Amino acid sequence: MPDLRFAGIGMTSARTRDRLVQRLREQGITNLAVLDRIRNVPRHIFVDEALASRAYEDTALPIGFGQTISQPYIVARMTEALLEGGPLFNVLEVGTGCGYQTAVLAPLVQKLYTIERIEPLVQRAKQRIKELGIRNVRFRHGDGSLGWKAHAPYDGILVTAAPLVVPDALLQQLKVGGRLIVPVGPEGQQELVRITRKEQGFHRQSLGPVAFVPLLSGIT
């Protein structure tokens, strides 16, 4: 029997989700696998019940601890940018948050490692990902600016909080040909960048202005 909580009704129904997908298409998202994930991942289970009716609006929403679930357009844009350039086997996500981006990305890659510095968020995200039947994700409570060396190198690294400068550890944990999608800069002046590792050095490309919470060091 389908889980009615995931299927949604009213403001969380299939029609509401289709409208969101249509909106993302109009904003330039073209990757069909990504749009399909946005349609199928029940974003309303990642936010407080009181906010569930707003889950398919294209906005960031609070998830507690001063953090936010990223806007669907940004999740789609970052996932699309990460996928461009070939299949992804080994991927690292920094800033699990509520786990929504994790749920969108996981089935599109072979193995996903995700790190979050706020312990209760790790536990909640783990639970939701399990409920959704997604099994290729490993979670870690830690400081993602150091990467996750044990599983490096990665084909892709996606960071969902903004450092002032790109952490060197993340660059070092990229494979040649691997790409890092990261928002960089101080609040109010961040840009999303894609950094691709080449045989010699790195290629940096701007993907436009964005607004993220800061990447902080240490854990809580």
Q: How many CB atoms lie within 10 A of CB 53?
A: 14
| Binder of ligand SAH out of 52, 92, 143, 174 (CB under 6 A) | 143
Q: How far is the CB of 200 from ligand SAH (least distance, A)?
A: 29
- Binding to ligand SAH, residues 79-98 (CB under 6 A): 94-95, 97-98
Does 137 interact with ligand SAH (rule: CB under 6 A)? no
Q: Which stretch binds ligand SAH (CB under 6 A): 13-21, 49-57, 65-73, 195-203?
A: 65-73
Q: Which stretch binds ligand SAH (CB under 6 A): 36-44, 184-192, 199-207, 210-218?
A: 210-218
Spot the catalytic one: 13, 53, 70, 217. 70
Does 117 interact with ligand SAH (rule: CB under 6 A)? yes
Catalytic residue set: 70
